[in-house]
Structure 1
C-alpha cells in the first residue's frame, strides 16, 4: 500500500470513528432527554387525569364511557380501583389481562399518605411508564387510578431523529471518503516528488531540481534537497578535481624522483670505471650528491605540504619583529646573490610587529627570495614592507624573466612549472610556491603575484599587525 492510500485510509477511518462516536452520543443524549421530558409530561398528565376521574366519579353518570374516551384521547392505559384497592375498570381490557387486580398493600399505604401525588415507576429495563395516584376528592366508588404508557411512544421522535442522523452520517462518510482522497493526494504528491527526486540524486542525477511553489515544510524540504544536490555536485567536482590533481601529483613525483635517480645511477656506473681519473670521479660524486640533496628537498617539501594539509595546529603564532626576520633572510641569501652578480635591496623602514608564526614566515621569505634569485639573471631582488593600518604588506620583487599570463592561474599548483626543463636545471622541486601558499592560507592570508615576461615578477602578501603596535 502506497503512502497516498495509507493517508487516505487513515484519514477516513479517523473521521468515520469520530462521526460514529458523535452520532451515537447524540442519539443516546436525545433519547435520554426525550424520556426525561416524557416522564415529566406523564406526571402532569397523571395528575390531570386523576382530577378528571374524580369529577367523573362524583357525577356517577357514564363513568366508564368517560374514562374510555379519556384513554382514547390521551393514548394512556387507564385502570380504576375502589377503596379496597381492587380494580373494577380498565381500558383497554387486553392490556391488563396478565396483571393482578389488586394494588399492593405497601403501595396502597404510600398513596393514602400522599393523596393527589403520583407514584411513578420508571425502571431502566421496563417497557412502560406506570403511575399510581389516590384521588384527592374521590367519589363513592373510585378511589385510586393507575395510568401507564409504553416508553416506545416517547422514543418515536428519537427514531425519526436517529434516521436523520444516520442519513447525515452516511452522507458525511461519503464526503469524508471523497475529501480524504483529494487531501491524501495533495499531501502525498510532494512526498512522492521528493522520493523520486531523492532516488534520482542517489542514482547520480545531480542536475535534478524539484520545482515547487509550496511554502510549508514540504517546500522547505524540497529546497533542502535542491541545495543538497547542488552541494553534492560541487563536492563531486571537487573530488574529481582532487582525483585529477592526485593522479597528476603521483605522476609528477614519479617523474621528479626518476630523473635524479637516473642521474645518480649513471654517475655510479661511471664511478665503477677503473680508467676514470680522479677529477672525473670527483665530478660524478658531486653530481650524485647534488641529486640526492634534490630528492631530500623534494621529500621534505612533500612532508611539509602534507602537514599543512592535515595538521590544523602546526602554526605557533606570536608577536615578532618582521623587519628582523626579513633582514636575517636577506643576509642569508646575500652571498648567493653576489656570486650571481645580483643585488638584494630592502625597503623596511622601522619595526613591524606582526602576529604570525615567525619560522613559517621566514620559510615563505626564503622561498620567495630564492625564486627571485634563481630566475633573475641581472638586476636586483627587492624586499619591501608597507603599513596598511591593521596589516602590513610584504613584497618580494625581482627583475627576472617574468611569467606569462597563461601560467599565473596555476603557478601555485604542486609540481607546476612554467618551464619544466629550465626549472629542473635550477634545482627546484616544483613545490616551493605551493609551500608558500599553504603557509599563508594557514594564516588566513593569500599570496598574490604580478608579472610580465622579460620585466620581472612581484609576489606579495599581508600579515596582521600585532596589538602591541597600537600601544
Structure 2
C-alpha cells in the first residue's frame, strides 16, 4: 500500500472513530437530558393536576372536570378514594391492566411524603407514572394517578438522533474526501523527494529539487540539493584527481624510462671489448648520473607521499632565518660562481621563526638550485622581509622568466614549461611540487612573480616568534 493510501486511511479511521464516539455520546447525553427534564416537568404537572383535582366540588360535574383536565393535559388519569379504590379513570382502556386499588404500602408512602408525588420510571415499563396524595380535598378523591407513554419523550430524542446521524454521515463523507486530499498533499513532497533521491542515486547529480516549502520537507529538499551539490563537487574533484593520478603514473613511467634507456645504452657500450678508457669512464659517469637521477625521483615521490598521508610530516622548531640563508648561500656559492652567476643575500639579520629546519632547508635548496639551473647570466638574490607577524622569504633570479600560461600549473607534479630542456638539465619535475607540499604542511604557500625575459621571484611566509 502506498504511503498516500496509508495516510488517508489512517486519518479516515481516526476521524470516523472520533465522529462516531462524539455522536454516540451526544445522543446519550441529549436522551438523558430530555428524559430528566421530562420527568421533572411530569412531576410538576402531577402536582398541578392534584391541586386542581382537590379543589373540585363533589357534585355531578366532578367526573366531567376530571376528564377535561385529562384531555387538556394529555395525561392518563385515575382517581382513588380514601380506601385506595379507583372510582374514576380516563381513558378507561388505559387502565384495563391496572389494579383497581392501591396497595397499603403505596398509600402509607404517599401519606409520609406530605403531598410530594411518587414517580415511577421503570426501564421495563413503557409508561411514566406518578402518584399524588391530594390531602384535604373538597370531594371524594384522595389519591391521583397520572401516566404517560415514554415514547413522547423518545420521539424528540429520535428526531435529534436522526439529525445527529445525518450530520455524522455527512461528516464522515467530508472526512473521507478531505483525508484523501490531505494525504495527497502530504505525500506529494515525499514522492517528489523520493523520485529526486533515486535520480541522484542513479548519478544525475545535476538534479535540483525545487520544493518551495517552509516546513521539514523544504528543509529536506535543501539538504538533498546540498548533498547533490557536494557529491557533484566531490565527483568533479575525483575526476580531476583520477586524471592527475593517471598523468602522474604516466609521467613516472616516462621519467624512469628515459634514464633506464640511457643506463642500458651505457652498459651496452661498456660491454665493447676495444672501448677506450676515456669512453669507458664517460659511460660509467653517465650511468651513475642517471642512477642518481632515478634515486632523486623516488626520493621526491617519497617526500610527496609523506606530505599526503603523514600528519607528523614536519617537526616545528625555533630556527634563525639568518643562519639558514647563510648556510644555503655558502653551499651554492661555488656552483653559482662556476656558472658565472652572482649569488647574493640582502637585509640579513637575526629572525626567529617556527618551522621545520630540515624541510625549509629543502625548500631553499630546490628554489636556489632551480634559479641557478635556469639563469644563464646575471645574479640570484636570497633574502627575507619582515611583514607584521610573518617573515617573507624569497629567491629572486634574472633568468628567462615564466609565461603567464604556465603559472597556474607550475607546481603540479611533473609539469615543465619546457620539457625537453628540463630533462636535459637533469630535473625530476617534482621539485616545486615538493616545495608546495612542505609549505602547505606549514600552513603556508609558495607564490611566484615572473616576467618573461626579466626573471622570477619565488617567495613564501613563516610566522615570526616573539
Calculate the TM-score normalised by the size of structure 1.
0.92
- The answer to whether the aligner puts 1:241 opposite 2:227 as a matched pair is no
Give SS of 1:85's match.
Answer: coil
- 1:223-243 deviations in whole A, cap 9, x for unaligned? 222222222221111111111
Residue of structure 2 in register with 1:85 after alignment: 84
Q: Distance in 2 between matches of 1:376 and 1:365?
A: 16
Paired residues of 2:58 and 2:139 also in contact (CA < 8 A): no
- The answer to whether the aligner puts 1:211 opposite 2:207 as a matched pair is no
Map 1:118-137; keep pairs closer than 5 Å.
118-123=117-122, 126-137=125-136
Q: CA deviation at 1:126?
A: 4.7
Residue of structure 2 in register with 1:294 after alignment: 293
- 1:232-291 deviations in whole A, cap 9, x for unaligned? 221111111111111111111111111122222222233333333443333323222222
Give SS of 1:428's match.
Answer: coil
Instruction: Give structure 2 stretches of 5+ with no counterpart.
Output: none
Residue of structure 2 in register with 1:97 after alignment: 96
Closer/same/farther in 2, CA of residues 145 and 353 from structure 1, 3 Å limit = same
Q: CA deviation at 1:123?
A: 4.0
- The answer to whether the aligner puts 1:189 opposite 2:188 as a matched pair is yes
Residue of structure 2 in register with 1:150 after alignment: 149
Residue of structure 1 in register with 2:45 after alignment: 45
Q: CA deviation at 1:368?
A: 1.0
Q: CA deviation at 1:140?
A: 5.5
Closer/same/farther in 2, CA of residues 169 and 415 from structure 1, 3 Å limit = same
Give SS of 2:48's match.
Answer: helix
Closer/same/farther in 2, CA of residues 284 and 167 from structure 1, 3 Å limit = same
Paired residues of 1:115 and 1:133 also in contact (CA < 8 A): no
Give SS of 1:401's match.
Answer: coil
- 1:350-402 deviations in whole A, cap 9, x for unaligned? 22222333332222112111111111122221112111112221111111222
Q: Distance in 1 between matches of 2:148 and 2:38?
A: 10
Residue of structure 1 in register with 2:260 after alignment: 261
- 1:23-60 deviations in whole A, cap 9, x for unaligned? 2222222111111111111111111111122223x424
Moved over 6 A (4+): none
Residue of structure 1 in register with 2:22 after alignment: 22
Residue of structure 1 in register with 2:4 after alignment: 4
Q: CA deviation at 1:125?
A: 5.5
Q: Distance in 1 between matches of 2:268 and 2:125?
A: 126
- 1:132-177 deviations in whole A, cap 9, x for unaligned? 2211224564222222223332232222222222222233333333
Q: Distance in 1 between matches of 2:315 and 2:58?
A: 127
Q: CA deviation at 1:124?
A: 5.0
Q: Distance in 2 between matches of 1:181 and 1:134?
A: 65
Map 1:155-234; keep pairs closer than 5 Å.
155-234=154-233
Map 1:312-391; keep pairs closer than 5 Å.
312-391=311-390
Task: Count residues with an aligned counterpart.
Answer: 466
Q: Distance in 2 between matches of 1:101 and 1:339?
A: 152
- 1:405-452 deviations in whole A, cap 9, x for unaligned? 221111111111112222122221111111111122222222111222
Give SS of 1:207's match.
Answer: coil
Paired residues of 2:413 and 2:429 also in contact (CA < 8 A): yes
Give SS of 1:237's match.
Answer: helix
Map 1:393-412; keep pairs closer than 5 Å.
393-412=392-411
Give SS of 1:59's match.
Answer: coil
Give SS of 1:395's match.
Answer: strand
Closer/same/farther in 2, CA of residues 281 and 95 from structure 1, 3 Å limit = farther
Paired residues of 1:115 and 1:135 also in contact (CA < 8 A): no
Give SS of 1:354's match.
Answer: strand
Q: Distance in 2 between matches of 1:296 and 1:272?
A: 24
Paired residues of 2:256 and 2:294 also in contact (CA < 8 A): yes
Instruction: Give structure 1 stretches of 5+ with no counterpart.
Output: none
Give SS of 2:449's match.
Answer: strand
Give SS of 1:178's match.
Answer: helix
Q: Distance in 1 between matches of 2:76 and 2:350?
A: 123
Residue of structure 2 in register with 1:445 after alignment: 444
Once the two structures are overlaid, the 10-residue window that deviates more, 238-247 or 186-195, is 186-195
Q: Distance in 1 between matches of 2:218 and 2:64?
A: 83
Q: Distance in 2 between matches of 1:62 and 1:48?
A: 19
Closer/same/farther in 2, CA of residues 89 and 447 from structure 1, 3 Å limit = same
Paired residues of 1:323 and 1:348 also in contact (CA < 8 A): no
Q: Distance in 2 between matches of 1:330 and 1:122?
A: 122
Q: Distance in 2 between matches of 1:9 and 1:415?
A: 67
Residue of structure 1 in register with 2:275 after alignment: 276
Give SS of 1:387's match.
Answer: strand
